[in-house]
Structure 1
Amino acid sequence: MPRVFVYGTLRRHEPNAFRLNEAVWLARQAWVSGRLYDTGYGYPALVLDVRSDRSSASSHTGRVYGELVEVSENALAALDALEGYAEGRRDNHYDRVSVCVHTDTGETETFAYVYPVERATGLKPIAFGDWKVYRHLPDPTKEASAGSATDRQADGSDTWLYFAYGSCMDDRRFETDGVRELFRDVVGRGVLRGHTLAFTRRSQADGMGRADIVETGAPHDVVEGKVYRIGREALRYLYDREGVQKGAYRPTFVDLEIGGETVTDVVTFTVVAKGPETPPPPHYAEEMLRGARGFVSEKYYEFLFNKCRI
């Protein structure tokens, strides 16, 4: 069955996702080398990067994030019609081409609908190469007057649910940094399925590991953590703490179980350039365990305790 990399309105919980109701979703944390632009018509345009994928190996610059799905031949034909593509036609709106898609478990060749580079001239680049982040989150790295259009995300919300699975489960650094009040609203325990926790980021400060979520797709793999309701100021703090501008972590969305119910599009952060696992420093492990103690399940706490000793 054909596989397709979707990066715009076809992504899960986006306006055209219903067209993929019969599809098999293989990965939500996927990327290709390229640039993403806002067409101004409510959908983005992907322009492939003609350089080697090595140019995107160490930062999110030059990456476009999306999801990998498997579809039927009939569904692929329907997507061709939606994207204005016909094989052999010269005036396609999008071209369907084969691309190398990277996931947390490896690489694969798949289809993607792309814009010719010359048609992207003058279009607005999308920060971080992520349409969902662009649509649903403000860019807290840019100053804007309160209440202005650029101060709010596209859907008009003022708060978001945020999933903390590492040191941000602990309150102590929030207090030290003077932001404890921004993280008072704890919604509950979040359970992220199909992922595992790993220390894939080696800190430049001490050469030791920091926590990450790695998508495996295995239903028995879970990551547990705290879910907060946060506002713009807290989001700005997290962007700085997670080194988003430096390409350390990137914002993304996940679906969680909270209190036995599925909650969609919860904000979290994941490592951009995932490396071999490196043990965390004692102070970082202590923060994670202190924040998790009495909050996550006993089974997961035991896993976390043993994981911090790798």
Structure 2
Amino acid sequence: MKVFVYGTLRKHEKNHDKLKAARVLAEQAWVYGELFDTGLGYPVMRKSNEKKVYGELYEIDDEILKELDWLEGYEPENEDHLYERMEVEVYTDFNRTRAITYVENRAIAKEAISSGDWKLHQLMKSKPNKLYYFAYGSCMDVERFQKANVDHFFQAVVGACRLDGYSMKYLFSVADGGRADIIEDGGVVEGILYEVPLEAVEYLFEREGFYTGWYRATFVDVTVDEQEYNDVLTFHVYDKKAEQAPPAHYAEEILRGSKGRVSEAYYNKLVAELKRLGCEFVG
């Protein structure tokens, strides 16, 4: 049995322990729906055919299902339960599948969450002075920060880091070629971990086309010298297309930003992938 979770059951959230015996199928998953903050420390989802809600997909057994039903106040024989349990279509980086989830049954929604992401909503609402940001692809290029006059936001480099469970591919389609994306396929992505001020987030939203539907903000766990950093902000393409070669200027930014910073083996892999795609670059 599969379950899609979008609120306090997500990784590193307060009720995630209910899923400690479950198998994670996808950290990057979404369904059609509309998300709301109840003002009670947890969100609720309503049905929608247009908006999206982001979360995670797990495989569970009957014992875990009982725990989740209890947490969500779901009682099959009681029509006035807090949440309704229903089956929905879940989309991941590779496929779609059916899973159960919990939607609003009793009117408790208050504030609409436009991003459809509970973690992002909490981050922006709490307004932390600083947060961690994982840069991969062209976002490793310091020269781009300097040209945009935002390099002062990216002075606190924690170090080179790795993201397990993902690969970097060129899946965002622009007129002159592909742009980098992370895809959840069991691979490894290397990049740079920064500690940035909250003001940097608005620059990143603009750069990544967050408001125009290019890349969405998401959260991943990365390691630096075997130390794990949880719920690190990064960006993930909304609408993935077939991989295509990036333009030469973009490839040069990636190589310039990664050379001498990520491992030599990963840098060589970046070069090999660009050559495989037929990208012409100076490297």
Q: Please report the TM-score for the alignment, with normalisation by the length of structure 1.
A: 0.86
CA separation in 2, counterparts of 1:293 and 1:196? 18
> Which residues in structure 2 correspond to 1:52-131 (within 5 Å)?
55=50, 62-116=51-105, 119=107, 123-131=110-118
Q: How far has the Cα of 1:123 moved from its partner?
A: 2.2
| Alpha-carbon shift at residue 185 of structure 1 (Å) | 1.0
Q: Which amino acid aligns with 1:284?
A: Y
Q: What are the equivalent positions in structure 2 for 1:113-152 lying under 5 Å apart?
A: 113-116=102-105, 119=107, 123-136=110-123, 138=124
1:222-233 alignment runs, 5 A limit: 222-233=188-199
Indicate the residue corresponding to 2:179 in structure 1: 210
TM alignment of 1:178-217, pairs within 5 A: 178-203=149-174, 206-216=175-185
Where do 5+ consecutive residues of structure 2 fail to align? 278-283
Instruction: Give CA-to-partner distance per residue, 1:47-106, whole Å, 9 cap, x none.
Output: 121x3xxx5xxxxxx110000111220110111011011124211110110111001121
Structure 1 residue 283, shift from structure 2 partner: 0.4
Amino acid across the alignment from 2:116? G
Distance 1:307 1:185 in 2: 29
Query: Residues of 2 paired with 1:233 and 1:263: CA distance?
Result: 21
Q: How does 1:148-187 map to 2 (within 5 A)?
A: 153-154=125-126, 157-187=128-158
Mapping of 1:228-307 within 5 angstroms?
228-307=194-273
CA shift digits 1:83-136 (9 cap, x unpaired)? 0111242111101101110011211100100114x836x621102100000012
CA distance in 1, matches of 2:150, 2:181: 23
The residue that corresponds to 2:3 in the other structure is: 4
Scaled by the length of structure 2, the TM-score of the pair is: 0.94
Which whole-Å CA distance do the structure 1 matches of 2:159 and 2:40 have between them?
Answer: 38
Residue 95 of structure 2 aligns with an amino acid whose one-letter code is G
Aligned equivalents of 1:207, 1:14: Cα separation in 2: 40
- The Cα offsets for residues 173-194 of structure 1, whole Å up to 9 and x where unpaired, read as 1111111111111110110011
**CA distance, structure 1, for counterparts of residue 266 and residue 251 of structure 2:** 15
Partners of 1:15 and 1:232 in 2: CA distance: 23
Taking only the aligned residue pairs, the percentage that are identical comes to 44
Deviation of 1:201 (Å): 0.5
User: Could you list the runs of 4 or more consecutive aligned residues of structure 1 that deviate by over 4 angstroms after TM superposition?
Assistant: none
Q: 3-state SS of the aligned residue for 2:21?
A: coil
Equivalent residue letter for 2:141: D
